[in-house]
A and B are shown apart, each in its own frame.
Chain A
Amino acid sequence: MAKIILKGVEKRFGDNTVCDGIDLEVEEGQMVCLIGASGAGKSTLLRCINLLETIENGEILLDGEDISLPGLNPQPVRRRIGMVFQSYNLFPHMTAAENVMLAPRRVYKKSRTELRPEITELFKRFGLADRMDHYPDQLSGGQQQRVAIVRALAMKPEVMLFDEITSALDPQLVGEVLDVLRLLKNSGMTMVLATHEMGFAREAADKVCFLKDGKVVEEGAPSALFDAPQHPDTQAFLARALK
């Protein structure tokens, strides 16, 4: 069974339907990229999967278990699903290491001394070994975003969600963050990305979904979707995005 299954997910903000009956399956270890114009519902969909938003209709299954059940305690689910945001959202009053250790300390009741070797390893793996004790405002955008990824990974999630994590970065810093994503994919992490990096989606994704007005217009392997899009909306979007 797929790791994540979305069935007819509907999300409205007032009269505005942001997700309009979305079906999606993400297999274990797959990287799925959501593409589409701003406002197509990519970010909202990720926030729904992480239960930061509640959905009006449909189901979200994690390992076959309905996590969108109204009234379900979201905290245990969120521990299994890490999320990284466009604007990093590091805690500015804590060092990088403290940012990373906070949730494992509070949720898994581990001590700093217990965690330190473990997270030092993570920082090293993502090229941040000498940045552990820096505050977020002493780090570049790319470094901050990598710390945010490490922070999510420290909870040992089964799935990672990435919400346009390179959109706020200077072009020369995008590469270092994409490298981290490649590293994660190779380690077998199940990942869902909302992204505008078409080149990266084509190269690294197992599946690409094109969203428009809250609906999945077309999905498929990157080679199929990018090279031979079937739907006229996909063709129009890609013609503009790949120019």
Chain B
Amino acid sequence: MSKTNAAGKTRRQIYEDRLRRRSMLIAGGSTLAVLLSVLVLVPLAPGWDRVKASFFNWEVFAKTFPKLLEAFKLDVAIFLWSAPAIIILGLLVALARDTRNPALFPLRILGAAYTDIFRGVPVVLTVYLIGFGIPGLGLPRPWNSPYIWGSLALILTYSAYVAEIFRSGIDSVHKSQRAAAQSLGLSDGDSMRFVILPQAIRRVIPAQMNMFIALQKDVALLSFIGPVEIFRQAGVYKSLLANFTPYVGAAVIFLAVTIPATRYADYLMAKQNRERS
């Protein structure tokens, strides 16, 4: 039986409560000190006024922010139609690279070459090559749209990464699972579809989320080939107002999406690690 005091706490709990209060006090104090010194010291730095006027101009911010938000809808739209295509293509490439059927050997080589090429080339280069190059062949409308070809460039690049993550997930499923499926008389295709893939996909969800957070940011690369999405819109305002605040506004909008998404992916990852240990 444990001894308890009037509050019904054991001495261990009282000791740990005291420790916790102490460390919270210290953490709070030191954070406050750092914050105060930043708030006091940064404005005292030489040139702060110029920095403030150029990057953190409230009037410019308030004036341009709604339009930036409007332009961000295009980023979201491009993301929304690219993401499903990336998942499907990435999965197909991963499966193609895992195939053992000799008739499909060319597919396997093609899959390997595809992932090597598109992971090895800077995204912006692929966006230029496909997004500028293909409409430049003189295709008729609407087939010369930079939306189509720019999105395709993103899809091709990101599918290569996503495929590799799927493949690592497939490899991470223990071979005894495949043996169990086979011993029941299931075909290789059914073993993959019902036993291996569901486990593999679950395991790589956090890693894939990080890829899609990166994709959301890289949609801005399409601004180079035409679409007036948020980055391009911010550039227009920057030239118009000779002020960098619109870029800061665009950054704020990106962060509002990416930070919660990143935290959620981290949370999923930590949850999975706990479950597996």
**Further pairs besides A52-B182, A89-B179, A107-B185: 8, Cβ < 8 Å:** A78-B184, A83-B183, A85-B180, A91-B194, A91-B199, A93-B199, A107-B184, A152-B183
| 16 A-B interface contacts by CB (under 8 A) | A52-B179, A74-B182, A75-B185, A75-B186, A75-B187, A76-B185, A78-B182, A82-B183, A85-B176, A85-B183, A89-B179, A91-B194, A93-B198, A93-B202, A102-B184, A106-B190
What 0/1 pattern do residues 108 to 151 of B give for CB contact below 8 A with A?
00000000000000000000000000000000000000000000
B69 contacts the other chain (CB 8 A) = no
Question: How many angstroms from the CA of A102 to the CA of B177 in the assembled complex?
Answer: 14
Contact partners of B181 in chain A: CB under 8 A: 91
A166 contacts the other chain (CB 8 A) = no
Question: How many angstroms from the CA of A85 to the CA of B177 in the assembled complex?
Answer: 10
**Contact call A52/B183, Cβ cutoff below 8 A:** yes
Q: How many Å from the CB of B200 to the closest CB on chain A?
A: 10
**Contact call A79/B199, Cβ cutoff below 8 A:** no
A54 contacts the other chain (CB 8 A) = no
B195 contacts the other chain (CB 8 A) = yes
Contact partners of B199 in chain A: CB under 8 A: 91-93
Contact partners of A102 in chain B: CB under 8 A: 184, 186, 194-195
Q: How many Å from the CB of A104 to the closest CB on chain B?
A: 9
A50 contacts the other chain (CB 8 A) = yes
Question: How many angstroms from the CA of A87 to the CA of B195 in the assembled complex?
Answer: 16
Q: How many Å from the CB of A4 to the closest CB on chain B?
A: 16
**Contact call A78/B185, Cβ cutoff below 8 A:** yes
A173 contacts the other chain (CB 8 A) = no
Which residues of A does B touch, CB under 8 Å?
47, 50, 52, 74-76, 78-79, 81-83, 85, 87, 89-93, 102-103, 106-107, 148, 151-152, 155
**Contact call A91/B177, Cβ cutoff below 8 A:** yes
Contact partners of A78 in chain B: CB under 8 A: 182-185
Question: How many angstroms from the CA of A91 to the CA of B177 in the assembled complex?
Answer: 7
What 0/1 pattern do residues 161 to 196 of B give for CB contact below 8 A with A?
000000000000000110111111111001000110
Residue of B nearest to A52 (CB): B179
Question: How many angstroms from the CA of A90 to the CA of B187 in the assembled complex?
Answer: 17
Residue of A nearest to B275 (CB): A137
Residue of B nearest to A137 (CB): B275
Question: How many angstroms from the CA of A79 to the CA of B184 in the assembled complex?
Answer: 6
Contact partners of A50 in chain B: CB under 8 A: 183
Q: Which chain B residues (193-212) contact chain A, with CB distance < 8 Å? A: 194-195, 198-199, 202
Interface residue count on the B side (C-beta < 8 Å) = 17
Contact partners of A103 in chain B: CB under 8 A: 184-186
**Contact call B177/A89, Cβ cutoff below 8 A:** yes
Q: How many Å from the CB of A41 to the closest CB on chain B?
A: 17
Contact partners of A92 in chain B: CB under 8 A: 199
Q: How many Å from the CB of A63 to the closest CB on chain B?
A: 17
Question: How many angstroms from the CA of A79 to the CA of B185 in the assembled complex?
Answer: 5
Contact partners of A91 in chain B: CB under 8 A: 177, 180-181, 194-195, 199
**Contact call A106/B194, Cβ cutoff below 8 A:** yes
Q: How many Å from the CB of A116 to the closest CB on chain B?
A: 18
Residue of B nearest to A79 (CB): B185
Residue of A nearest to B198 (CB): A93
Question: How many angstroms from the CA of A107 to the CA of B187 in the assembled complex?
Answer: 8
Q: How many Å from the CB of A86 to the closest CB on chain B?
A: 9
Q: How many Å from the CB of A167 to the closest CB on chain B?
A: 14
Question: How many angstroms from the CA of A91 to the CA of B186 in the assembled complex?
Answer: 13
Contact partners of B176 in chain A: CB under 8 A: 85, 87, 89
Contact partners of A85 in chain B: CB under 8 A: 176, 179-180, 183
Question: How many angstroms from the CA of A103 to the CA of B185 in the assembled complex?
Answer: 7
Question: How many angstroms from the CA of A75 to the CA of B190 in the assembled complex?
Answer: 12
Contact partners of A89 in chain B: CB under 8 A: 176-177, 179-180
